[in-house]
Structure 1
Amino acid sequence: MQKYPMTVEGEKALREELQQLKTVERPRVIQDIADAREHGDLKENAEYHAAREQQGFIEGRIQDIEGKLSNAQVIDIKSIPHSGKVLFGTTVTIINVETDEEVEYRIVGDDEADIKNNRISVSSPIARALIGKEEGDTVVVNIPSGTVEYEIDEVKHV
């Protein structure tokens, strides 16, 4: 069975979502289905069909989260001694060698990735190129339009 890396924060967020789904959303949709049944003919009852569809979505998401949590390998970067190497969970500042553009990314699990918040998946091309490298190293990242060269400016364990 394959384990999936996840940060402590990512695990916490999934557990909170699971709790919300089981204690708030699931009971609400069950009540919505009961209310819709009281309106009579279920074949033409849009409220009933919408509630059943919502129930299917909620149950599917609960199963998905439970599966992810059971296969999660939670990594607490704060417990790993700072070595200057890029590891899962570290925050890395890189500089585009051509344009001098600086960007900071945190390397996280697939489900936690959010490019708008500078959180990239450990399986992304940039993260794969950075993992194992150290401050001062230069990495080449393959992108659809060719390659980009970055210099690793700083690695933080936060």
Structure 2
Amino acid sequence: MNFFDSTCQESPRCDELFGICDDQNGKKAYTSVDDNSKWVATVINKKKIELIFTAIDACVITGDQHPGRGRCDGMLTSHEHIFFVELKDKASDWITDAIDQLESTVQFFLEEHSLAQYRHKKAFACNKRRPHFQEIDQETQLKWFRSYGVRLDVQAEVIVI
């Protein structure tokens, strides 16, 4: 499985502000600068770093591949950044599921690729209905960082530093 398959990637974008959308229709997630009511995650890119969005669910990993194993919606990459992003639109009981999907995706990624080249490595669980930062217990944070070298955030803003 190739997480850098060009058929699953959008053209690079360096917008200061854009959204990541999932229309919940079985199709792949995508980015947009229009209609922020569709944005599940908001990407804040003040330095205008060139980012590539890759649709993971419904593209890199299709529905019939690895049944029963989760995958996140997409990832943003640059020369120094890799951000895995799971998009939710639920009022409650979503964080554990989102984190499980992110963890499964990071494991898939590490079976085929390395994270060594990236300086900034994060996984974001984003929810349109719960956009503000939600604290994750330190044990989970520490487990993620020790296991994968990836920081985990639960918030609807993906801030590119």
Q: In which range does the TM-score fall when normalised by the shorter chain? A: under 0.3
If the length of structure 2 is used for normalisation, what is the TM-score? 0.27
**Structure number with larger C-alpha Rg:** 1
If the length of structure 1 is used for normalisation, what is the TM-score? 0.27
